[in-house]
Amino acid sequence: MFGNIPERSHRRAGVVAREPSRRLHHPDFDARGTQGWKSIEAEGKLPESGWRKEQQWALDMGLPGSDSIIDKSIPTFARGELPHFAGINTFLKAPYVENVRDVGKYDAAVIGIPFDSGTTYRPGTRFGPQGIRRISALYTPYNYELGVDLREQMTLCDAGDVFTIPANLEKSFDQITKGVSHVASSGALPIMLGGDHSIGFPCVRGIADVTSKRIGIIHFDRHIDIQEKDLDERMHTTPWYWATNLPNVSATNLVQLGIGGWQVPRYGVAEARKRGTNVLTISDIEQMGLEKAAEVALELAWKDTDAVYISFDVDSLDCGFVPGTGWPEPGGFLPREALKLLGLVTAPGICGLEVVEVSPPYDTSDITALFGVRVVVEALGSMVAHGNLGKHKSIIDKPVSF
């Protein structure tokens, strides 16, 4: 971009220009063996048919561009991925399924759950699905390191939002459970955008209701969230108490990653001890390493179960990275640690994923919502890369029909 700058142009009054450092020679180093080069090679093996199909669809739906436009793939009206700043904000600009009975035509379906009546401090997560969808327009469906293109290797739709009832937890829980059970029954992988963490219970219940198989849970959080009640209701500090009361969801298969700090109610700790859950703190994970931590989490969550559900609370990250959340806590994961760990535990396949506690009113430059997007695409990308997307379908033996 800037061209070659002559060495003398570096000189300013009082400044002595340094000679360019000599390039170190490493005779045994082969750049072709790096992940960076392998990723370059992997991209060349990916198909482009999905992208070409979308370009043609955009022209058909949005009219061919004006005569002055040289790139003839550009339509008059924005349709599809480009430009990133335009268009209707579904998640990743995936097709909006107006008739939710059509979700079974897709590998995965995004479900918004705009609900924050379970919060006990800062509200705003009812706007989480909107915020996540909006900033998801920044992303493409391709990941360089994984060598995955979601547009080419899977199908994704956006089913819109569950109609939640503000200030009524139980009616909202019933709505959420019905929506999730519908999507799970269709065969599409349910991807839930919260919403506060109280939705964890009705989301798991929605999947548990359509299978006789056993489900484990891997839960990323700084808070233990397993007390029976909070403020006399089933708030966002209680989802795993109720989820692990379900007949096919055992507390011994609940693995909680990142728990710690000064916001862990003792009621919840006592319940975790009573039920025998599994907790790895940030220190535990640092000491054993991410790969070992993932191995332990998978072993515990999958022991005598048939599927695993992922619950990702964005406040599991250090609050410097996620200001837009209801209960920020210092000392959590770094983003790259959480993403690496998430990719490892989702690789074998999952039966559902929720991203919770994104609160756009408290966010800065959409960075918390952006991380919520990254959680979803990282999980999908890992499953696609390992050939395990869709593995959950085998457990759906009690599908519902509405």
> What digits encode the pLDDT tens for the residues 317-335?
999 999 999 999 999 999 9
Lowest mean pLDDT across 8-12, 104-108, 161-165, 230-234 = 8-12
What's the confidence (pLDDT) of residue 229? Answer: 80
For position 5, what pLDDT does the model report? 36
Average pLDDT of the chain? 92
pTM over 0.85: yes
Query: With bands split at pLDDT 50, 70 and 90, how would you rate the model's confidence at 237?
Result: confident
Lowest mean pLDDT among 53-67, 220-234, 288-302: 220-234
* Mean pLDDT, rounded, for 65-81: 94
* pLDDT at 147 > cutoff 50: yes
Tell me what the mean pLDDT of segment 380-387 comes to: 98
What's the pLDDT band for 216 if we cut at 50, 70, 90? Answer: very high
What's the mean pLDDT in 10-38? 63
Q: What is the mean pLDDT of residues 236-253?
A: 94
Q: Is residue 87 pLDDT above 80, yes or no?
A: yes
| pLDDT for res 241 | 95
Whether 19 has a pLDDT exceeding 60, the answer reads no
Q: Which residue has the higher pLDDT, 243 or 1?
A: 243
Percent of the chain with pLDDT over 70: 93
User: Residue 16 pLDDT > 60, yes or no?
Assistant: no
Q: Decide if pLDDT at 75 tops 90.
A: yes
Residue 235 has pLDDT above 50, yes or no: yes
Q: What is the pLDDT of residue 12?
A: 39
Please tell me the least confidently modeled range out of 6-10, 23-27, 106-110, 369-373: 6-10
73-82, 206-215, 245-254: segment of lowest average pLDDT: 73-82
Confidence category of residue 65, pLDDT binned at 50, 70, 90:
very high
pLDDT confidence of 24, banded at 50, 70, 90?
Answer: low
- 198-218 mean pLDDT: 98
Q: Which residue has the higher pLDDT, 263 or 174?
A: 174
pLDDT level of residue 231 (50, 70, 90 thresholds):
confident
Res. 236 pLDDT band, cuts 50 70 90: confident
Mean pLDDT value across residues 344-369: 98
Residue that wins the pLDDT comparison between 118 and 1:
118
Helix (H), strand (E), coil (C) string for the chain:
CCCCCCHHHHCCCCCCCCCCCCCCCCCCCCHHHCHHHHHHHHHCCCCCHHHHHHHHHHHHHHCECCCCCCCCCCECCCCCCCCCCCCCCCHHHCCECCCHHHHHHCCEEEEEECCCCCCCCCCCHHHHHHHHHHHHCCCCCEECCCCEEHHHHCCEEEEEECCCCCCCHHHHHHHHHHHHHHHHHHCCEEEEEECCHHHHHHHHHHHHCCCCCCEEEEEECCCCCCCCCECCECCCCCHHHHHCCCCCEEEEEEEEECCCCCCCCHHHHHHHHHHCCEEECHHHHHHHCHHHHHHHHHHHHHCCCCEEEEEEEHHHECCCCCCCCCCCCCCCECHHHHHHHHHHHHCCCCCEEEEECCCHHHCCCCHHHHHHHHHHHHHHHHHHHCCCCCHHHHHCCCCCCC
More confident residue, 121 or 360: 360
- Given a cut of 60, whether residue 350 has pLDDT beyond it is yes
